[in-house]
Amino acid sequence: MIEKLKKLKVGKVIVNPKMSDYTTYKVGGNALAIVYPNDIEDLIKLLNYLKENKIKFKILGNGSNLIFSDEKYEGVLIKLSEFNNLEINDTVVTVGSGYNLVKLSLKTARMGLSGLEFASGIPGTIGGAVFMNAGAYKMDMSYIVSEVKVLTPEMTIKTLYNKDLDFHYRSSFLQKNRDYICLEAKLVLKHGDANNIMEVIADRKQRRLLTQPLEYPSAGSVFRNPENDYAGRLIEELGYKGKNIGGAYVSEKHANFIINKDHATASDIRNLINEIKEKVKEKYGIELIVEQEFVD
């Protein structure tokens, strides 16, 4: 299968990659392969091959919201890093799904374009951010995405507009319809003062350093905040700050962060997440929703 993948000539193929090298938690077993398609035509060719041969596959962004298991992922991962076009026309930004979100946030800020300040600390790709409706500081992608170019399950290219994307808190149409693949997004920003925007970003970076355990591998917030409350507050009230299973710890800085503090396994992290879910349900009757995705 690997030889056939290489013969397809659709882009770079990495065989037997360790998922700990491709996720921000730094855990997980190996996968069969990672493929970097060169363009849309190569992506379609690759997907047709995988579907015809019933080979499991998954689109992989920066791996900042994924927890692969410790076992082998018996499938192919597709990274759209080559989908990194960027065009800025006044306040309209057209950007490929593989473009780095933090990089774009800083680039637009320096140009005096406001709207992406919230994203300056979110280590994902544009495609992943649209998929998750990533957000922070009471802002998210739904406020700035005007349209998205997608590849449909029928292998046609289609434009979905903001109203079609069914954006909700950490949710979107793409998350519920995973056969659609984000290729490119059009964002609408606003003119602002570059110095002021950069000041906001610097201030928030300082606040993150003080309140989040950025010195350890993690995947950001583990749970969505329940309505009118904070997951971190509930977990802290349980006395779970500093609680660990193996090398996975609940952060002392922020209870809604689980960190890989000491060579954690994927199982350590999953077990800790599940235990917290159970304890919160038991004590408060609240069903916490996991923001991160388990991949087997």
Q: pLDDT tens digits, residue range 166-203? A: 999 999 999 999 999 999 999 999 999 999 999 999 99
Q: CA-to-CA distance for 125 and 101, rounded, in angstroms?
A: 5
pLDDT number for residue 104: 98
Q: With contact defined as beta carbons under 8 Å apart, do 89 and 113 qualify?
A: no
Label residue 7 by pLDDT band (50, 70, 90): very high
Is the pLDDT at 1 greater than 90? The verdict is: no
Catalytic residue among 69, 82, 146, 170: 170
Boundaries of every domain in the chain: 2-79, 86-196, 215-295
170 in catalytic set = yes
CA 141 from centre of chain: 12
List C-alpha distances in Å: 58 to 32, 74, 194.
Answer: 12, 11, 38
Distance from the first to the final alpha carbon of the chain: 20
Question: CA torsion, points 89, 92, 95, 101, in degrees to nearest 10?
Answer: 120
pLDDT number for residue 67: 97
Same fold, 2-79 and 215-295: no
Tokens 């491709």 belong to 22
Class of domain 86-196: alpha beta
Q: What is the DSSP letter of 144?
A: T
pLDDT number for residue 198: 97
Structure tokens at 213: 């355990």
Task: Give me the half-sphere count of Cα atoms (radius 13 Å) on the Cβ side of residue 129.
Answer: 34
Closest CA to 181 of 249, 262, 292, 98: 98
Pairing mode, strands 145-151 and 181-188: antiparallel
CATH fold of 2-79: 3.30.43
Could you tell me which residues come within 8 angstroms of residue 17 by beta carbon, excluding any fewer than 6 positions away? 30, 31, 33, 34, 77
pLDDT number for residue 244: 98
Q: CA-to-CA distance for 225 and 230, rounded, in angstroms?
A: 5
CB atoms within 10 A of CB 173: 18
pLDDT in tens, 59-110: 999 999 999 999 999 999 999 999 999 999 999 999 999 999 999 999 999 9
Please state the φ and ψ torsions of residue 158, each to the nearest 5 degrees. -135, 150
Where does 215-295 sit in CATH, by number?
A: 3.90.78.10
Mean pLDDT of 226-246: 96
Closest CA to 125 of 76, 188, 60, 67: 60
- Supply the mean pLDDT for the chain: 97
221 in catalytic set = yes
pLDDT in tens, 30-53: 999 999 999 999 999 999 999 999
Catalytic residue among 117, 147, 184, 291: 291
Catalytic residue among 81, 120, 221, 251: 221
